[in-house]
Structure 1
Amino acid sequence: MTAPDPFTPARLGPLTLRNRLIKCATFEGATPDALVTDDLIEFHREVAAGGVAMSTVAYCAVAPEGRTDRHQIWLRDEAMPGLRRLTDAIHSEGALAAAQLGHAGPVANSVSNRKKALGPSHIPAPMGMSVTRKLDADGITAMLATFRRAARIAVDSGFDGLEIHCGHNYLISCFLSPMLNRRHDGYGGSLVNRARFAREVVEAVRDEVGDKVAVWAKLNMFDGVGTPGPGHGGQLTGFNIDEACAVAQLLESDGHLDAIEPTAGSSLLNPMYLFHGEAPRDEFADAFHGAMRMGLKAIGPMFLKHYPYHDAYLLPLARQLRAAVRMPLILLGGITDRTSMELALSEGFDFVAMGRALLREPDLPLRIQADPSATSRCVHCNLCMPTIYSHTRCPIRAGEVPDPLAAAHT
């Protein structure tokens, strides 16, 4: 295929985006009271001014117990005035605003949240050094209503798009995982049963918001446990690409989504599979205190594994998903220059999502548009990862002298 120009307008469901570049959801660490702050607004305004078509706000939890800690926004009436200021600021820069809707499930910190973590089964919730409470049938029904209400609050706060988090072994992703979902009812066992909760959440959100808002799912392709393909030797492995393709086909057949954003890795089991690049084990441990810090120091090499970085590093897995469905896909992972953008678009991906590169240079899209040979200054050190517990930022950028040429672009 001939790659479309990444800087020309494109349709995502009911929306027209000014280009094919999306700021992906990366927790901003700027909401100490679980409400929008001026820092959060400026974080996304700067990215919007830098040239992306849409900026995704993360992490918008659908319930208070669904946060990785109590400082994250959860969608309730009290949050709406701040969310409206946030979406207005993004819109003022000519970009659209998306909210990532999710529930952290076993990744939630029950100690910080002061609420029990939830899961499809009784499984470890290491952030709170506890075990999850299993969602029963009534709990699942209530959770669908919770997603509905969160979606309504987001749309009424001015968001143009909703990303449903079905990745990283958060709650929906755990239901998909044969390793973490140990149920024996209609939500466990076969892949169709394990995918039921995800499909019902997507249907509930779409039914609530109608067809005026774009809705897509961030879907795990592989959680980094075992092998990306089918399990070997009868061993139970995590979610893999073959199952991801089958789930994507189910979601496509349901007809409620405008796109899928393939992702990979597990915040519960193997977070570095999403990021690739250096593994900042000491810095990550130092972001915690007490037993958690000591534990991370001890298991750092096992938990924070090293995966070499290369541009478009999720493309090999995502190609299989591209072949499995016809619906639009958003490629995430190692999109840093025009070459990687055009590679993704030439292989049939409709949009690209950028994360760490925009922490280093929020105006990178404008630089690339002005100069196709421009490259990212991100060195993939991943030192930004531990900053999510204080204020998400690129530590290297924070120590740099401002570039007058970069400032001129904004």
Structure 2
Amino acid sequence: MTIAGLPTDTVSVTPDPFAPATLGPVRLRNRIIKAATSEGRSPEGLVTDDLIDFHLGFVRGGVGMTTVAYCCVAPEGASAPGQILMSRKALPGLRRLTDAVHDAGGAIAAQLGHAGVVASKKITGVTAMSPSRVINPSSLEYCREITASEIRRVIDQFGEAAEIAVEAGFDAVELHFGHLYLPSSFLSPLLNRRKDEYGGTIDNRSRLVREIAQRVREVVGDRIAVTAKISMDDGIRGSIWLSESLRTVQLLDQDRNLDAIELTQGSSFFKQMYLFRGDVPVDEFAAVMKEPFKTGVRLFGKRALGTYPYEDLYMLESARQFVPVVANTQLILLGGINNYDHIATGMREGFGFVAMGRALLREPDLMNRIKADHSVSGRCNHNNKCMYTVYGRTHCVLDPDSTHSAAGSAASTSFTADRSKELPITPA
């Protein structure tokens, strides 16, 4: 058995989560990572001062590394309007962002993704791609089967995006292999019914994520860290579950192309609340929708999104199954982490890092406060109304400064309207 990629006989104490830690070639000031969460602060697909300030809040608030959410590797890989495309055009703004974070003493990662089946033709202008032909139940749009040559192109696009990340000064890239975006959809027997070398057994269905990780590692070498976000299960019957995701992680670990794997759950394809847990903000989603989606969400939103009670550390039971599987790769614990005891539990269980989303969205300075006083708990009450704010500037609705600030005024209101017209329910 191993702990965070090290033999158990070499580990004598539980790591201090607030002490410096190594992630591949990168030294982080602590083991706390701000998880990628939709931002809505790049309406033209380019870095803005608002986006920089957003991430500086988490870095000044005490995290070791913040993650820029969903940087597209290709225009057709966008899952929402206004997402950053990893391109030469975006490079100057990305450099401003990484410089600002480094000046504040933190590290920064870029999440690289291709939406695949989660994309919408209303956004990208082209029919979405999937391992096999399928209808997206959220957008009700047809997704065509990706060709073999297009698969090779997607692998190249991840490599090209990773090179942009290096040039922009990022400390790490996170490969989005979760939530039934394109790479993740290949892992799902429900969506992947291919008869070629990318379909069939889980070893075959894991081929694409392994080839993407290999290409990215070839491109970046040891200049930056390479991590991946992978769904342990997605809450959809007949799709991804532990028995097969364990094998995918084992194969990736054996390949030694990743420095860490962040374990997640759920999808942006269907039953989205399986990722978030807690209250289901149906009325709030309906309020920003155009007809006929407004009525559809009111009538069927709870059934489509799913209803799952919130529990602290709600991903731990599944995530701990992966600890004995890895020998070369650190693991990152996500889900329901809200105080020092939760973080310490992750360290004791063998995780190298923890990642936090909603708790930090509510209180960007939470880590500084917890470090100073281990009895502090986050104020996030899991109302999940932040989910519908992805149609504008993602924020905690209980933070009046985020809701009513000048940066969130007229321009943001217009952006919200545009996004809600085009995007049904894709909160993750």
- Common topology (TM > 0.5): yes
Q: Which runs of 5+ in 1 are unaligned?
A: 227-236, 402-410
Deviation at 1:399, TM superposition (A): 6.5
- 2:54 paired with 1:43: yes
Partner residue of 2:103 out of 62, 87, 92: 92
Deviation sequence 1:226-253 (CA, Å, 0-9, x none): 3xxxxxxxxxx11101111100000011
Q: Which residue of 2 is the match for residue 190 of structure 1?
A: 201
**Correspondence for 1:380 among 379, 382, 386:** 382
User: What residue in structure 2 maps to residue 103 of structure 1?
Assistant: 114
Compared CA separation, residues 127 and 33, structure 1 to 2 (3 A):
farther
Name the CA distance, whole Å, in 2 between partners of 1:170 and 1:241: 18
Alignment-mate amino acid for residue 218 of structure 1 = K
- Residue number in structure 2 paired with 1:271: 272
Q: Name the CA shift for 1:159/1:399 in 2 (closer, same or farther; >3 Å).
A: closer
Secondary structure of the corresponding residue to residue 247 of structure 2:
helix
SS in 1 for 2:109: strand
Three-state SS of the structure 1 residue aligned to 2:195 is: coil
- Give the whole-Å Cα distance in 1 for the aligned partners of 2:85 and 2:286: 26
Kindly provide the CA deviation profile for residues 155-181 of structure 1, in whole angstroms up to 9, marking residues without a partner as x: 111111000001001001100000000
Partner letter of residue 323 of structure 1? Answer: P
TM-score of the pair, normalised by structure 1: 0.93
Amino-acid identity (%): 50
Give the Cα separation in 1 of the matches to 2:60 and 2:402: 20
Q: Kindly tell me: are residues 68 and 293 of structure 1, through their superposed partners in 2, closer, same or farther at Cα, counting changes over 3 Å?
A: farther
Using the TM superposition, give the Cα deviation of residue 126 of structure 1 relative to its aligned residue in structure 2, in angstroms: 4.6
1:220 corresponds to which of 221, 224, 231: 231
Please state how far the C-alpha of 1:37 moved relative to its aligned partner. Answer: 1.0
CA distance in 2, matches of 1:205, 1:288: 38
Once the two structures are overlaid, the 10-residue window that deviates more, 383-392 or 64-73, is 64-73
Secondary structure of 2:90's counterpart equals: helix
The Cα shift of 1:2 comes to 4.5
Match in the other structure for 2:263: 262
Quote the residue 2:7 is aligned against: none
Task: Give the equivalent residue in structure 1 for 2:342.
Answer: 340
TM-aligned CA deviation for residue 400 of structure 1: 9.6
For residues 81 and 379 of structure 2, the distance between their equivalents in structure 1, rounded to whole angstroms, comes to 33
User: Partners in 2 of 1:177 and 1:54 — Cα distance?
Assistant: 30
Shift of 1:288: 2.3
SS at match of 1:116: coil
Residue in 2 that maps onto 1:296: 297
Question: In the alignment, residue 393 of structure 2 is paired with which amino acid?
Answer: H
Q: Secondary structure at the match of 1:11?
A: strand
Match of residue 119 from structure 1: 130
Alignment of 1:319-398 (within 5 A): 319-326=320-327, 327-398=329-400
Does the 8 Å CA contact 1:120/1:135 hold for their aligned counterparts?
A: yes
Single out whichever of 69-78 and 380-389 deviates more from structure 2.
69-78
302-311 or 357-366, which deviates more: 302-311
Aligned to 2:179: 168
C-alpha deviation, 1:3, in angstroms: 2.8
List aligned pairs for 1:20-35, cutoff 5 A.
Answer: 20-35=31-46
- Output the CA distance in 2 between the equivalents of 1:164 and 1:400: 29
8 Å CA contact 1:109–1:125 kept in 2: the answer is no
CA distance in 2, matches of 1:194, 1:367: 43
Please list the CA deviations of residues 18-64 of structure 1 after superposition, one character each: whole Å capped at 9, or x if unmatched: 00000000010111111111111110011111000000001101011
Closer, same or farther: CA 17–399 of 1 in aligned 2, 3 Å:
closer
Deviations 1:328-378 (A, max 9, x none): 100000111000000010010010001001111000000000111011011
Give the letter for the 2:225 counterpart. Answer: A
Q: TM-score, normalising length from structure 2?
A: 0.89
Instruction: Tell me, in whole angstroms, the C-alpha distance in 1 between the residues paired with 2:62 and 2:303.
Output: 38
Which range moves more in the overlay, 178-187 or 121-130? 121-130
Aligned to 1:133: 144
> Root-mean-square deviation (CA), in Å?
1.6
Distance (Å, rounded) in 2 between the aligned partners of 1:208 and 1:193: 24
Contact 1:176–1:194, Cα closer than 8 Å, also in 2: yes
Pair 1:400–1:73, CA change in 2 (3 A): closer
Amino acid at match of 2:203: V
Give the whole-Å Cα distance in 2 for the aligned partners of 1:189 and 1:297.
Answer: 38
Whether the 8 Å CA contact 1:62–1:146 is kept in 2: the answer is: yes
1:242 aligns with: 243
Q: CA deviation at 1:305?
A: 1.8
Give 3-state SS (helix, strand or coil) of 2:196's partner. coil
What is aligned with 2:407? none
Match of 1:10 among 21, 35, 42: 21
| Residue 321 to residue 287, structure 1, CA distance change in 2 (3 Å) | farther
Select which of 141, 151, 160 maps to 1:149.
Answer: 160
Partner of 2:78: 67
Q: Which residue of structure 2 lines up, in the alignment, with residue 231 of structure 1? A: none
